Structure 1
């Protein structure tokens, strides 16, 4: 590409005697020199992060960043640091990151979001939509007939995006090569949201998710909610929020007097490669202009399950003994007896646990929310409606990423895209479903024998 650029370099900008071209530099295989200006250009691969370290550069062109490997051994952030560390912050120095979008949640997408957040990045975002490419044009012989044939989206290209009729006709005809419009948007995006939404099987519309992301401009306080324990069933010090840069709890709104909250827990694993455990706090009646539910806090990380139960209890008590909803699939199916211990502990310690109707005879209620073939379609359908209709306020950009990474499979089931997670998504889905269905009746309190019978049924 640089050879082509040099072969077409404008003569008015070249004052050297030697013509602009690449020549070998001291038998180095990956470095060329431009005679006259003695400008050296080194080409490196993202597979070898050490190749560019120590270079004294004025410009770095980082290409197809969205496809760089992101693993414990190949980190895009580390490669970025090794390449740009030698570039001084002075005039005529430059760093350019360019790429075709490759989904959301990766390093390139996170850098794009940072660049679009005022004061968060030194980069300037620049997006090239399909209609700015000159070859994407068709001659228009009958403007009225073209206008009558356009749908609402194509008319928005004229009214919202300022496209010419020649460009819109090209788009109109190009769409016929695709089975659906979402495929067209993925290949020829009009907006960055369409570019990053790279799959046609997405459950959530990219436009709806980007509208929801407007709430992510609120900055969170990071820390932990802690409490002191003076026994198996009593707390001697009220829980409090302790700010910490290493904390895994993000807090956007402090508890308000008389607030009505739901705390939802999705259980993950302990190891780095396992699913995350997530605790989210939903304010059922926020002070937003529309009064819709609002995510006000979230804890996310890897932790032992008994400690996760304590974290959930602390957040629940911090938000006024909120209704604590545990997605209990993992704990109920624990083969080590751990699930029984944790459910028993929470039942004994926490005053406002969510109980679901029990499907077995002889017990009225069962601890926790169970996600299965019957409940999952219902909670996802409700979440789709909430995202589409701005039915709740989201403050976590990472949660919005999970929405964009969520896919519908051919058999009608749902899952996160390969290599992605849906832990935050599920806490929102369950909390908003319980809020919408009004299943907030305070749980019955059982004696030990009845509680043990219920827990036995859960373990089966």
Structure 2
């Protein structure tokens, strides 16, 4: 390949080096109303790196971005769309906002990009009317225009819920801004997605802060996280933004703040408990100034409501999607659990020729493991059975340690009920022939039949008293009824509130956040959400308690009973002040 001249290299970079183009030529209006060069902030760099990596690897560029407020993501996506449209022929781009004011703001961004470009690289513009920025020769003389037509590319700005959204038959770039606030987002996005070719030179971005649960954006986010669509999920917590920090008025005020968040209290079980702010700082490496900004923002911008702050400025995706119903599980406890969740090993189980079971690591596997089985340890498994439809509920199983009450593994996925029986057989055998309780609903009977055929011996039987015969009868599997469901969910709520369970799964905590008490007093997942791991965990807990009594509280050392306490204690206290934490 011949060496490029400086001029050739310049025009090559103009088309292909997005970051160079954005930071070299584009201008933005900052919060002080000054026109400045566009320099990528940390959040924008995270997103840019993901997009450029996908482009290098030839992947389809489809993204769903869940973010805290004012991260500069719209500014970035408009810049990327502007770059592609203003440097290539025949490109059609569409930007859709949730309201007219936002649409105008987005158009003004693109307009400013164009106006501030150097003359050398500014494409011809046919018109700019507040809704369309068209790069084409404005000459009315067709003979002149034929020889030099310009790019024939355009950027259209639209507002969701209006007829203009789906006018274009083909779009190469689509930015759906604040899609969680669109009216009828599902119908609009269905139309929009048909307009985008499945080509690697196209871009689709769904970007929004959260707006509760059960809507189109929440559903698309969950499916992206589970790998059920082509969208790459990108979450940007509030503390990614370096401007979300607030200095203290004095060193004394800073020291007082540190003392407040460092308070250690004792819970009803004798365990040492840190403040949530301390745990947040410890898990994410936050500064005191960042926590000071958080506290200030809650008080002054979120009406003193921490849950409103969590939705507007989340630390985790689960915080963003706060349930709009009355939660069954303690939000305070769930927030604490979020500080100790961790990534599991993902994979699947395989039967070995010798009759044993081995774990095969695979990022797409149905099984998540936080701790592998220990010889001689007794485990219980609670299993919820779904129909097996791709779009329906999930089948889920939770593995609990009978000594520590930690959830050490979960199985979660779509599968036919009979095949699920084979998976549960392997899971049970892997965890030392675990005591297995399978919900005996319609589909559960199919799963249980498979387990019986496979001669899995350690199965749970429901017990009931027959008043007529005065005998106790047994039925294979766990029976969830109007009588047993409130009892099992109440017990799970107690164990979560008191931190008796060790839960390290973001999925379980996510479902717990959106599990609500309905107006009639019944408990269920909020509309558009799931509760499969909640039901599996509740069944597992009943099995763990079966031989210990309903009022059982784990009687083991604090540092073993709830690794939660151990995991959130700063290493400073583990080294020199360990006596404080002994039982």
Structure-1-length-normalised TM-score: 0.62
Matching residue within 415, 439, 450 for 1:327: 439
Gaps of 5+ in 2: 1-104, 139-149, 245-262, 264-274, 279-287, 550-583
Sort the Cα spacing of 1:257 and 1:388 in 2 relative to 1 into closer, same or farther, 3 A. Answer: same
In structure 2, the partner of 1:379 is 488
Is 2:423 the counterpart of 1:293?
A: no
After the TM superposition, which residues 41-440 of structure 1 pair with which residues of structure 2 at under 5 Å, given as runs?
41-43=155-157, 53=171, 55=172, 61-66=175-180, 74=190, 85-86=200-201, 98-103=207-212, 106-108=219-221, 125=236, 127=238, 161-163=291-293, 170=300, 174=303, 184=308, 194-206=319-331, 208-226=333-351, 237-243=355-361, 247-285=365-403, 291-304=404-417, 306-330=418-442, 342-343=448-449, 346=452, 349-360=455-466, 361-438=470-547
Contact 2:388 2:416 in 1 (8 A): yes
The DSSP-based 3-state class of the residue aligned with 1:237 is coil
Contact 1:294 1:392 in 2 (8 A): yes
Task: Provide the rounded CA distance (Å) in 2 between the counterparts of 1:183 and 1:122.
Answer: 23
Task: Provide the rounded CA distance (Å) in 1 between the counterparts of 2:366 and 2:296.
Answer: 52
Sort the Cα spacing of 1:40 and 1:431 in 2 relative to 1 into closer, same or farther, 3 A. Answer: same
Contact 2:422 2:450 in 1 (8 A): no
Task: Provide the rounded CA distance (Å) in 2 between the counterparts of 1:391 and 1:284.
Answer: 12
Residues 389-398 or 269-278, more deviating = 389-398
Task: Provide the rounded CA distance (Å) in 2 between the counterparts of 1:171 and 1:43.
Answer: 30
Matching residue within 127, 137, 147 for 1:24: 127
**Post-superposition shift, 1:409?**
0.1
Sort the Cα spacing of 1:434 and 1:14 in 2 relative to 1 into closer, same or farther, 3 A. Answer: same
Contact 2:367 2:409 in 1 (8 A): no
**Post-superposition shift, 1:412?**
1.0
The DSSP-based 3-state class of the residue aligned with 1:86 is coil
**Post-superposition shift, 1:249?**
3.1
Task: Provide the rounded CA distance (Å) in 2 between the counterparts of 1:311 and 1:403.
Answer: 25
Sort the Cα spacing of 1:79 and 1:365 in 2 relative to 1 into closer, same or farther, 3 A. Answer: same
**Post-superposition shift, 1:164?**
9.7
The aligned length equals 382
Sort the Cα spacing of 1:347 and 1:84 in 2 relative to 1 into closer, same or farther, 3 A. Answer: closer
Contact 1:103 1:196 in 2 (8 A): yes
Sort the Cα spacing of 1:112 and 1:102 in 2 relative to 1 into closer, same or farther, 3 A. Answer: farther
**Post-superposition shift, 1:416?**
1.2
**Post-superposition shift, 1:428?**
0.9
Contact 2:125 2:136 in 1 (8 A): yes
| Residues 235-284 of structure 1: CA deviation (Å, up to 9, x unaligned) | x7233334556643334433221121112211110322332222222223
The DSSP-based 3-state class of the residue aligned with 2:238 is coil
| Residues 50-79 of structure 1: CA deviation (Å, up to 9, x unaligned) | 9665x4x7xx754124468579x9499x79
Task: Provide the rounded CA distance (Å) in 1 between the counterparts of 2:294 and 2:382.
Answer: 49
Sort the Cα spacing of 1:9 and 1:42 in 2 relative to 1 into closer, same or farther, 3 A. Answer: closer
Which structure has greater helix proportion?
Answer: 2
Residues 33-42 or 213-222, more deviating = 33-42
Contact 2:323 2:513 in 1 (8 A): no
Sort the Cα spacing of 1:96 and 1:270 in 2 relative to 1 into closer, same or farther, 3 A. Answer: closer
Task: Provide the rounded CA distance (Å) in 2 between the counterparts of 1:250 and 1:396.
Answer: 9
Gaps of 5+ in 1: 88-93, 115-120, 134-151, 176-180, 229-235, 286-290, 333-337, 441-460
**Post-superposition shift, 1:216?**
4.3
Task: Provide the rounded CA distance (Å) in 2 between the counterparts of 1:255 and 1:81.
Answer: 48
Sort the Cα spacing of 1:216 and 1:238 in 2 relative to 1 into closer, same or farther, 3 A. Answer: same
**Post-superposition shift, 1:426?**
0.6
**Post-superposition shift, 1:34?**
10
Contact 2:398 2:537 in 1 (8 A): yes
In structure 2, the partner of 1:2 is 106
Contact 2:344 2:368 in 1 (8 A): no
Sort the Cα spacing of 1:16 and 1:240 in 2 relative to 1 into closer, same or farther, 3 A. Answer: closer
**Post-superposition shift, 1:343?**
4.9
Task: Provide the rounded CA distance (Å) in 1 between the counterparts of 2:374 and 2:195.
Answer: 43
**Post-superposition shift, 1:205?**
4.4
Q: Please report the RMSD computed on the Cα atoms of aligned residues, expressed in angstroms.
A: 5.5
Sort the Cα spacing of 1:165 and 1:206 in 2 relative to 1 into closer, same or farther, 3 A. Answer: closer
